[in-house]
């Protein structure tokens, strides 16, 4: 199943600088890992914001939730999920 996932991060302004650096490094590492697993085949930065849009390819809603909640910045994220279906006019889907 494909999911369009918008992830907006809001780190507290008073978060310790070292903790902030740890979290962002761990987030980048986990994101790369998910890409290598094929779970996150597409990822974009939202221009001018601390947010991303990703396409997740997972078998179920529960598995998507498990992957999202495994992100180190999870507790600081607002997440919007939209399930996707194949469009009949998509040229890539044509035989």
Give the tens place of pLDDT for each residue, 70-84.
Answer: 999 999 999 999 999
Cβ contacts of 34 within 8 Å, gap of 6 or more: 40, 67
Number of structural domains, the chain?
1
CATH number of domain containing 61: 3.30.70.1060
Note the pLDDT of residue 95: 73
Tokens of 50: 């601390």
Query: Within a domain: residue 53?
Result: yes
Query: Within a domain: residue 91?
Result: no
| Maximal C-alpha separation, the chain | 54
The parent domain of residue 6 ranges over 2-86
Residue 3 confidence (pLDDT) above 80: yes
Give the tens place of pLDDT for each residue, 12-70.
Answer: 999 999 999 999 999 999 999 999 999 999 999 999 999 999 999 999 999 999 999 99
Is residue 68 within 8 Å of residue 5, measured between CB atoms?
yes
Note the pLDDT of residue 92: 79
- List b or e across 13-51, with b for residues whose CB sees 16 or more CB atoms inside 10 angstroms: eeeeeeeeeebeeebeebbeebeeeebbeebeeeeeeeb
Query: Within a domain: residue 22?
Result: yes
Note the pLDDT of residue 88: 87
pTM: 0.90
Note the pLDDT of residue 30: 98
């Amino acid at each position: 199943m494909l999911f369009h996932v918008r992830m907006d991060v809001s780190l507290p302004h008073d978060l310790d600088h070292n903790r902030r650096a740890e979290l962002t490094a761990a987030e980048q590492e986990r994101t790369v890992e998910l890409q290598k697993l094929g779970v996150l085949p597409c990822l974009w930065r939202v221009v001018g914001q601390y947010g991303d849009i990703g396409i997740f390819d997972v078998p179920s809603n529960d598995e998507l939730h498990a992957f999202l909640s495994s992100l180190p910045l999870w507790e600081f994220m607002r997440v919007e999920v939209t399930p996707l279906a194949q469009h009949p006019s998509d040229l890539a889907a044509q035989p």
